[in-house]
A and B are shown apart, each in its own frame.
Chain A
Amino acid sequence: MTAEGNPALATTNEESWHGIVLRTLRRNEVRLVPYVPDRVLTPLIAGLHADPYFSTFATAREEEAVGILSGAWMGGARGAMLMQTSGFATLANVLASLVVPCQIPLVMFVSERGTLGEFNYGQSLVCRTMRPVLDSLAMEHHTMTRLDELEFTVDRSIKQAVATQAPVALILSPLLTGGKVFEK
């Protein structure tokens, strides 16, 4: 892939999307970051691992990360989780039976697969379930497409989640990250 095809790899003086996310997490004292990895999230995950401020680790399932962050919140620690679209699709039960009824301010970053150049039909189908599930639980969600709006959206969303004790999904669009493109 060339840099022109992928804004995440573009060499400019602008801060990268993952640098902005990492900095904004730190500013909001979000230290605990479990994840189920995704190709697009790789630079963010690497940045979190490289920074001793954060406690970041892989979980076997996205649901498990939701449980960990719910327990951590109740114990007084802030966190956020990273996953891809198909991982979000495994979460309807835990959102409806733990996060929403217990008023847990769960912060979810979802790397959006399945749109804007998807090459895997399964991914494009599962993507269509994401926003209806979020909407059915009346959960706040934002699709982040622009670098210049990213810090504002992430920062305000974390603050709102904590203040209102309500979860939020921050969807990282391919327009922001470059997404994952088909390569032979």
Chain B
Amino acid sequence: MSAPMTNAPVRNTKVMNRFDLTSRLVAKLEHEEAVVGGIGNTNFDLWATGQRPQNFYMLGSMGLAFPIALGVALAQPKRRVVALEGDGSLLMQLGCLTTIATLAPDNLVMIVMDNGIYQITGSQPTPARHADIVAIAIGCGIARSSWAADEEDFERLVDQAFESAGPTLIAARIDDKPGVGATRRDPVQIRERFMQGLGVRQPL
């Protein structure tokens, strides 16, 4: 895991753990915030923190966690919406950052778990080893984009994002550990339960 990091710009950021950060985030959710987990490890770790009805777990469509969360945020402007995405996934759909910057939804919080690798396919380095996700997001027009320096800073940034208006992006350097859970891949149930969790549908 050290190799892809050595060429990255100097950042005073601690290498953290995805499941730990996801747990810290979920512990702060007190207002039925929606959470969209990207494919693979981001949604596995979200699953492992407990299956809130306001969680949506993606099946495929790599790179669409932010666009899906944007859609939820536009449909329900009073609800905070959090998206968890990996750096490799975000690379598939970098353009969405420009759309989000333009629409500037007040209630969208984007979290990027950056380990510089495609952990789930065998830890191959991503082509973004020289890239800085936060600089990219700022360059796309998302002014409130920051690296989390450590776990406490991550929590502070999440609190800040929940307390103020405007789209926020928080990036965290993470280790090369796999996700700790395994999402039950039942897309219809996941979608239906999410809609019920958002108050759009009632159970049959």
Partner of B60, one of A55, A64, A96: A96
Alpha-carbon separation in the docked complex, A181 to B34 (Å): 46
**Residue numbers in A under 8 Å from B74 (CB-CB):** 32, 55, 68, 71-72, 75, 77
Q: Is the CB of B188 within 8 A of A67?
A: no
Q: Is the CB of B61 within 8 A of A71?
A: no
- Chain A proximity of B185: nearest CB distance (Å): 9
Say which one of A16-24, A37-45, A101-109, A112-120 lies at the interface with B. Answer: A101-109
**Residue numbers in A under 8 Å from B58 (CB-CB):** 98
A61 and B93 in contact (CB under 8 A), knowing A98-B61, A102-B187?
Answer: yes
Alpha-carbon separation in the docked complex, A58 to B101 (Å): 12
- How many B residues touch the partner, as a band? 35 or more
Alpha-carbon separation in the docked complex, A66 to B195 (Å): 17
Say which one of B65-73, B112-120, B166-174 lies at the interface with A. Answer: B65-73
A74 and B191 in contact (CB under 8 A), knowing A64-B99, A67-B67, A69-B71?
Answer: yes
A60 and B95 in contact (CB under 8 A), knowing A71-B67, A74-B71, A74-B200?
Answer: yes
A75 and B76 in contact (CB under 8 A), knowing A93-B61, A97-B59?
Answer: yes
Closest A residue to B67 by beta carbon equals A67
B143 sits at the interface (CB 8 A): no
Q: How many cross-chain pairs have Cβ atoms below 8 Å apart between A and B?
A: 125
Q: Is the CB of B71 within 8 A of A75?
A: yes
- How many A residues touch the partner, as a band? 20 to 34
B190 sits at the interface (CB 8 A): yes
Closest A residue to B199 by beta carbon equals A76
**Residue numbers in A under 8 Å from B190 (CB-CB):** 102
B204 sits at the interface (CB 8 A): no
**Residue numbers in A under 8 Å from B93 (CB-CB):** 61, 63-64, 67
Q: Is the CB of B102 within 8 A of A67?
A: no
**Residue numbers in A under 8 Å from B63 (CB-CB):** 63
A147 sits at the interface (CB 8 A): no
- Chain A proximity of B32: nearest CB distance (Å): 12
Alpha-carbon separation in the docked complex, A73 to B74 (Å): 10
- Chain A proximity of B155: nearest CB distance (Å): 26
A76 and B198 in contact (CB under 8 A), knowing A32-B74, A68-B70, A71-B36?
Answer: yes
Q: Is the CB of A71 within 8 A of B191?
A: no
**Residue numbers in A under 8 Å from B67 (CB-CB):** 59, 63-68, 71
- Chain A proximity of B76: nearest CB distance (Å): 5
Q: Is the CB of B95 within 8 A of A71?
A: no
A133 sits at the interface (CB 8 A): no
B47 sits at the interface (CB 8 A): no
A162 sits at the interface (CB 8 A): no
Q: Is the CB of B95 within 8 A of A61?
A: yes
A64 and B72 in contact (CB under 8 A), knowing A101-B59, A101-B187, A102-B190?
Answer: no
**Residue numbers in B under 8 Å from A74 (CB-CB):** 56, 68, 71-72, 75, 191, 194-195, 198, 200
**Residue numbers in A under 8 Å from B76 (CB-CB):** 75-76
Closest A residue to B79 by beta carbon equals A75
- Chain B proximity of A36: nearest CB distance (Å): 10
A57 sits at the interface (CB 8 A): yes
Q: Is the CB of A57 within 8 A of B102?
A: yes
Q: Is the CB of A73 within 8 A of B64?
A: no
B96 sits at the interface (CB 8 A): yes
B103 sits at the interface (CB 8 A): yes
B98 sits at the interface (CB 8 A): yes
Ordered by A's residue number, 7 sampled pairs between the chains whose C-beta atoms are within 8 Å are A57-B102, A74-B200, A75-B79, A77-B74, A79-B71, A98-B61, A103-B191
Question: What are the nearest 6 A-B pairs in CB distance?
Answer: A71-B71, A97-B60, A60-B95, A75-B75, A67-B67, A77-B75
